[in-house]
Structure 1
């Protein structure tokens, strides 16, 4: 069992010795890159929040022409084109999944679609899910993860100024939802038969989940989510669980006041880790590659405010410590993925983002 603990961000963890890895800059000049995914043939997909899907060839070169056929995308604030995920059955289906903001400045929310990627365009696009209700502010981000039972999960923000809706079971703001890959609702969802509850809901009480990963040690889902100025969390998802936002949180609001006087309350799931002040965790990966055997089983958490990737070490089900990767670059880290070859690949944030590849020193 992992015991919950507060990890103060001001107590900066030690930095990983840069001599233990080398960094290759593969791509530069990306405009607000958000997510990275790997295709079976060695190509990679990168989303840019401004509304472009890019292809990096198996030779490491960026195709100058974005993928065609994308749906209309509302790009504003923190939103736009967000996650990209490759169907586990891609060799048979040719399908990828995308999340993005759908709507306009008055009313928008996250939409999930799938489409076949063929000859540089998206074809046979299917709208699988649209979060409800639409909010006036640009919504927080979303991530996709596939489960072994052929379902998928999708994280959804709380609408920023509609935080109380994270506790409203009737809608999908501030939730993680579980769907079949065709967008239908699995009949064994934990709250599917509860009156007044949206049947898609897997868990509730979230603020802004921007990292989600399947833990290979036990098959559970791990998430990272932003607090405002504090109260960032690492959580293990329990089907049907309530994670407290905004009633129970260590979060510090943008006014510097506590979001709530209650750091915990009965009936709410406690975080495995909490970071205050905020490090702004923007993704999550579990390292299971072969190139860095000393990090196997560790969590990789890219942080925007902290401008590093947190390496969260684990042993025998417990968290044993944290270190900072790439802190020497001083750049906002947006996404991190473990490539099939075991390299660690990182997207930096901003209007001139980069794709970095971490390899052993020799």
Structure 2
């Protein structure tokens, strides 16, 4: 059904609504299933960080705390904990410490001021037992997407055509003139997906820091690709300095020569470089003016970066194809401001698309716990983060009590609870009758494809499609008018093929 655009909520409701929209994982509004049940007997000894057997009440409380504080980033069924490499160790004491103290460089807050040691200990026990049970369930039942048959939306019936599987996190897609597709894999590989659906590795991709939310991210063709073979890649650049590993959002320009990149040039490196591993942003789109627009998240510097015009982080940027600055950028003549900045006050935009009907650039960005936004980008505009927000921090603390303020642009739409949007595309052409001009966005938290009904510059409703298909990472319209979506873990790319059900 079409869901009407939400009214503005009171901030207190965030304490009870939904789950976080961070993009390192999955989430759902549903409570954790029986696969996360822990054995119930007693509750003694929790405060020391020792794993214990939980009573029924302790188990219920742990499940509630997981749903409230953890599921938004780690999934209602512990999705991101399953079959992963554990950077901080798998022991109960290691998980206890992680929950209590957090890991600021990866965007995980500590919960020492939110939960007691006993609650943290019970939560760690709940998670560890749930992992064991979930792994056993996956082994016995198998995994994968089951979307066979006809899928009926309000205007269009379609089926899913599986284009390719086996790419763990397909982050970005771009269509070549011959029908091949370029696909980025976040771990650092750039692929050519041929017409006969073969994956071929392209040599020469940049070195990336494939940690947290970082890696090889978006890919975009030059508007004159047919003649110059130029592509653009966004990624988490890496350098070692003073015994530390630092990263930032970077843009590389290169020529595609067969299955190799040549004449490579880094045309943007965001400042500052940091130790954090999240909020790279990193969508790329050419505007009708021929300039390159791209996003950079706040890199975890919530109160330092987005409102500071001397820093690249927390902004959308606009540059020429060679990396030089358009002289009509809004802050070219402002002392102390970085000239590539086009908008500021952005948290972590992972969707960017040109509305071909209005020639305006639209973007969506992750809010904190609540308040993902859709914005129409205006030159020099401030979108408010963190001065105003519709969300709260993941550990329940208040970021701002204000949702609107003079001089700050309101979003045209927002999601509460957060859906963790990634990738976006406007429906063009005539293959999808009734969808023309609508905005498609992927949801990583709730694992669906959002179709927002667009009228002029307003979103007037939403239909949620392909529920539980997986974490939708990217959405693209192909030159021949089909919708493609990229889904991660297990990674796959699907094409939506309309069918006549008359």
Q: In structure 2, what is the equivalent of residue 293 of structure 1?
A: 433
Q: In structure 2, what is the equivalent of residue 152 of structure 1?
A: 292
Q: Are 1:185 and 1:200, in contact at CA under 8 Å, matched by a contact in 2? A: yes
Greater shift in the superposed pair: 307-316 or 104-113: 104-113
Greater shift in the superposed pair: 312-321 or 81-90: 312-321
Whether 2:494 is the aligned partner of 1:359: answer: no
Across the aligned residues of Structure 1 and Structure 2, the Cα RMSD in angstroms comes to: 2.1
String of CA shifts for 1:76-117, please: whole Å, max 9, x gaps: 101100000011100111011000111156321011011111
String of CA shifts for 1:123-174, please: whole Å, max 9, x gaps: 0001111000111101423110101222111100101144431000011010
String of CA shifts for 1:173-211, please: whole Å, max 9, x gaps: 100010000000111101110111111100000000000
Q: Are 2:155 and 2:435, in contact at CA under 8 Å, matched by a contact in 1? A: no
String of CA shifts for 1:289-322, please: whole Å, max 9, x gaps: 2210210010001010011011000224432210
Aligned pair in 2 of structure 1 residues 4, 195: CA closer, same or farther (>3 Å)?
farther
Whether 2:186 is the aligned partner of 1:43: answer: no
Shift of 1:257: 2.7
Q: In structure 1, what is the equivalent of residue 217 of structure 2?
A: 82
Q: How far apart, CA to CA, are the structure 1 residues paired with 2:334 and 2:221? A: 32
Q: In structure 1, what is the equivalent of residue 365 of structure 2?
A: 225
Q: In structure 2, what is the equivalent of residue 132 of structure 1?
A: 271
Q: How far apart, CA to CA, are the structure 2 residues paired with 1:322 and 1:26? A: 26
- Flag the structure with higher strand content: 1
Greater shift in the superposed pair: 134-143 or 339-348: 134-143
Aligned residues: 354
Q: How far apart, CA to CA, are the structure 2 residues paired with 1:275 and 1:137? A: 26
- Flag the structure with higher helix content: 2
Whether 2:227 is the aligned partner of 1:92: answer: yes
Normalising by structure 1, report the TM-score. Answer: 0.93
Q: Are 2:156 and 2:434, in contact at CA under 8 Å, matched by a contact in 1? A: no
- Answer with 1 or 2: which has the greater Rg: 2
Q: How far apart, CA to CA, are the structure 2 residues paired with 1:318 and 1:236? A: 10
Aligned pair in 2 of structure 1 residues 168, 52: CA closer, same or farther (>3 Å)?
same
Q: How far apart, CA to CA, are the structure 2 residues paired with 1:316 and 1:77? A: 37
Query: Residues 306-317 of structure 1: matches in 2 within 5 Å?
Result: 306-317=446-457
Q: In structure 2, what is the equivalent of residue 252 of structure 1?
A: 392
Q: Are 2:155 and 2:433, in contact at CA under 8 Å, matched by a contact in 1? A: no
Q: Tell me, what secondary structure is at the counterpart of 2:166? A: strand
Q: How far apart, CA to CA, are the structure 1 residues paired with 2:457 and 2:338? A: 33
Aligned pair in 2 of structure 1 residues 18, 295: CA closer, same or farther (>3 Å)?
closer
Q: Tell me, what secondary structure is at the counterpart of 2:403? A: coil
Q: How far apart, CA to CA, are the structure 1 residues paired with 2:156 and 2:335? A: 57
Q: In structure 2, what is the equivalent of residue 34 of structure 1?
A: 171
Q: How far apart, CA to CA, are the structure 1 residues paired with 2:157 and 2:8? A: 28
Q: Are 1:169 and 1:198, in contact at CA under 8 Å, matched by a contact in 2? A: yes
Aligned pair in 2 of structure 1 residues 67, 30: CA closer, same or farther (>3 Å)?
same
Q: In structure 1, what is the equivalent of residue 142 of structure 2?
A: none
